[in-house]
A and B are shown apart, each in its own frame.
Chain A
Amino acid sequence: MAGFGVPTRPEPAQLDRLAVGRAVSARHGRHWNDELTFLLAHNVHPVVNAIFNDSGAHTVKVAYNRPPGVQVLLVEYELAYGADESTLALSTFTVTASSGTVTPLDDNGFLDGSAEIQTDSSAKLNRSIFRGFLDVTGLTVGTTVDLIFTYANVSIDPEGPGLYRLSVMEVPLADVSPVDDPATEVGLEGVWSDPRRAIVDGDTSTDEGFVRLFAMLDKARSQVRRYWQWVTSEDTTTGFAWRVTATAAGTTFPFSVSGTARVFKSKARHLYTTTSMQPETTQIRIRYNNSGIGCTLRCVVTPVGGAAVNTDVSLPNAAASWATVTAELLLPTSGTGQEFTIEFQSWNSGAGTTYVSQVAIISNES
């Protein structure tokens, strides 16, 4: 192993040290390598933070697109409370993937179903929180899959406590080893830019050279994914999935019973233009189930201080199965502080119910 440590913050450099027409100090190559490794392997992202208010069994599907600098996810979940000591059900929790493989690590049986987990009394401030790590090297980089989290009661009370909270976080790397495995590791050979070595062009599959440097820059721009994700249990029978029954255009998406429109706020990533403030390109991914009807999900995105833009996504007749649709969604960067708000509306084309279990927005720069 001939790796080097991943910086935990950017490594600053001054542009005025670079004079046009003159050769660049070889030391600068090390700066690029450090900075790109920070962006690819340390500045990694939360995937989902979801709150549930349900009881009993759950199957929750979380969209995930593995970036090149992540090999492990940290999964933490919290159980709902039992009403009293008589409903402190034993349960299991497992994780699989819709495509590729994921393998629990250091999980004490909390992710592979081998441990029976138990909730706590609602009267206690302490909570029943379980965590484990998930090896995601069996997932293809750049391909969106569903991570499938299954919670099941195994004893005492089948309608007892369920999931309360689920968190999935990408874990940064401590070091990288592009020399040993340039195909799977990010970064460049650390001594590539040593002035005693020849400067080489190289290619994307080797561990050094300008071509690989530009390839890493492109990965940092387009393959490190940002997530805005709402998930609930994928179930049409227990009432956990969000249910669209309205037929009037512009009806608030039924996140819960209070009827208040949820308006979420965040910050978009500004990349390209300075004049017209080109929006961040993302892909919205929706998992749903309906029969004999179509549904429209409208994303109302408003830059702070600007005007709303609607993006309608069609959810066609799924013939009583769970289906996935994707569409491009642009997040404006023109708002104050590059901030924007997003809310959802939904309506069916006729009488019936459309169940929705996942609304995931994932950055998708080409």
Chain B
Amino acid sequence: MPVRGERALTRYIKHPAASTANPLSNGWALDAGTAILLDSNIHHLAEQATRPLVQSNGQGLLQTNTSYGAVFSNIIGLEQVDPTVLGWAVAQPWRAIPWDRNSATRFGPFHFIADHELASGATTIRPIKVELQATIHANVTTKKAFAAVTFTDAPPFHDPPFLFGETTFGGTGAQTASITLTSGAPVSRTSTVGPLRCRPDATLGSPRVEVVQGYLHIGWLLYGATAGASYIDGYSAWEVWS
């Protein structure tokens, strides 16, 4: 049985407005036909519960990098680092960029919902589709896009991400890179950075809630020996089921 429940129809069936004139009568049993429609409607809303996460214009003009080393230069703690030499970019591809503002943007925090079913029957956070729109200078020779989900506020360079994906832009000029982040590992509420305040006081319920909280990082690696100005134009991210 799917975690989001069965549906009689793959759509919502509108019902009369709830009111005291409801034809249901006190003390009478509910018939199964009405119950099936209620179930189906509720399950359909769960099926359609995926959420838009990010729609943002980009920050525009980027720092021009003419070498890979330049991507890591002038960052305190990361000066003169060459991840290629150290092998990071191969063994730990999320360390291929520093995830500073010249190479990435973080979005969130988000409260992720762990109702995506795995083959094992366990659940994990919903898959996330990411699109990065850029205008890439004609002389850029290395042009990659990255996306990652972390459960702490540290960038992926320092905190191995829960989800990670990368792709290569198809060319130069106006380009869009698409990445789908999907987990094969279950997640629970223990993978959080702490409870969130959810009520102003405790009169009607707990004032704090534990959720799967994290950030979505979207990054890029753009450089070329004679490269000129490139731009980050926009970001989109949304939840899907597959």
Give me the interface of A with B, judged by CB distance under 8 Å.
1, 3, 6, 8-16, 18-24, 28, 31-32, 35-36, 38-39, 42-46, 49-51, 53, 71-72, 74, 76, 78, 81, 103, 105-106, 121-125, 127, 129, 131, 133, 135, 137, 164-165, 167, 169-177, 180-181, 184-185, 198-201, 203-204, 210-215, 217-218, 220-221, 226-230, 255-258, 260-267, 269-274, 337
- Smallest CB-CB separation from A267: which chain B residue? B238
- Smallest CB-CB separation from A231: which chain B residue? B56
Chain B interface residue count, CB cutoff 8 Å, equals 106
Q: Is the CB of A258 within 8 A of B61?
A: yes
Q: Is the CB of B198 within 8 A of A71?
A: yes
Given contacts A10-B5, A12-B1, A71-B198, contact A24 B135 (CB under 8 A): no
Say yes or no for B162: interface residue by CB 8 A criterion.
no
The listed residue (B7, B22, B240) touching A210 by CB distance below 8 A is B22
Give me the interface of B with A, judged by CB distance under 8 Å.
1-12, 14-15, 17-20, 22, 24-33, 35-36, 38-46, 48-61, 74-78, 98-101, 105-111, 113-115, 123, 129, 131, 133, 135, 153, 155, 157, 174, 176, 189, 196-200, 202-206, 208-211, 231, 233-236, 238-240
Q: Is the CB of A173 within 8 A of B46?
A: no
Shortest CB distance A217–B (Å)? 6
Q: How far is the CA of A273 from the CA of B9 in the complex (A)?
A: 10
- Listed A/B pairs (20) with beta-carbon separation below 8 Å: A9-B3, A10-B46, A12-B1, A21-B32, A45-B51, A72-B196, A76-B109, A137-B200, A165-B105, A167-B109, A204-B18, A211-B20, A214-B15, A217-B15, A257-B61, A265-B129, A265-B131, A266-B236, A267-B129, A272-B12
Given contacts A15-B6, A35-B42, contact A270 B48 (CB under 8 A): yes
Q: How far is the CA of A290 from the CA of B100 in the complex (A)?
A: 37
Q: Is the CB of B36 within 8 A of A15?
A: yes
A-side contacts of B25, CB under 8 Å = 201
- Smallest CB-CB separation from B44: which chain A residue? A271
Shortest CB distance A264–B (Å)? 5
Q: How far is the CA of A38 from the CA of B200 in the complex (A)?
A: 20
Q: Is the CB of B6 within 8 A of A9?
A: no
Shortest CB distance A35–B (Å)? 5
Shortest CB distance B212–A (Å)? 8
Given contacts A50-B56, A176-B205, A260-B231, contact A74 B200 (CB under 8 A): no
Q: Is the CB of B58 within 8 A of A273?
A: no
A-side contacts of B206, CB under 8 Å = 174-175
Q: Is the CB of A24 within 8 A of B35?
A: yes
Q: How far is the CA of A171 from the CA of B25 in the complex (A)?
A: 37
Given contacts A51-B58, A169-B110, contact A174 B11 (CB under 8 A): no
Q: How far is the CA of A129 from the CA of B15 in the complex (A)?
A: 46
Q: Is the CB of B26 within 8 A of A199?
A: yes
Given contacts A10-B3, A172-B111, A218-B18, contact A260 B233 (CB under 8 A): yes
Q: How far is the CA of A184 from the CA of B203 in the complex (A)?
A: 12
Q: How far is the CA of A215 from the CA of B76 in the complex (A)?
A: 56
Shortest CB distance A198–B (Å)? 5
The listed residue (A15, A46, A49, A164) touching B8 by CB distance below 8 A is A15
Q: Is the CB of B108 within 8 A of A169?
A: yes
Q: Is the CB of B55 within 8 A of A229?
A: yes
The listed residue (B43, B101, B174, B200) touching A164 by CB distance below 8 A is B101
Q: Is the CB of B60 within 8 A of A257?
A: yes
Closest 5 CB pairs of A and B: A23-B29, A215-B18, A174-B209, A9-B115, A214-B18
B-side contacts of A176, CB under 8 Å = 204-205
A-side contacts of B197, CB under 8 Å = 72, 74, 105-106, 133, 171
Q: How far is the CA of A11 from the CA of B42 in the complex (A)?
A: 10
B-side contacts of A169, CB under 8 Å = 108-111
Q: Is the CB of A272 within 8 A of B204?
A: no
The listed residue (A74, A164, A180, A198) touching B196 by CB distance below 8 A is A74
Shortest CB distance A336–B (Å)? 11
Q: Is the CB of A200 within 8 A of B26?
A: yes
A-side contacts of B41, CB under 8 Å = 217, 221
Shortest CB distance A260–B (Å)? 5
Q: How far is the CA of A72 from the CA of B123 in the complex (A)?
A: 26
- Smallest CB-CB separation from A203: which chain B residue? B20
The listed residue (A20, A137, A213, A272) touching B11 by CB distance below 8 A is A272
Taking A18-B32, A51-B105, A266-B52 as given, write out 4 further A-B residue pairs in contact, using a Cβ cutoff of 8 Å, ordered by the A residue number. A122-B101, A176-B204, A177-B204, A204-B19
Q: Is the CB of A125 within 8 A of B45?
A: no
B-side contacts of A8, CB under 8 Å = 113-115, 189, 211
Given contacts A201-B22, A267-B238, contact A256 B231 (CB under 8 A): yes
- Smallest CB-CB separation from A123: which chain B residue? B76
The listed residue (B54, B133, B196, B210) touching A262 by CB distance below 8 A is B133
Q: Is the CB of B58 within 8 A of A256?
A: yes
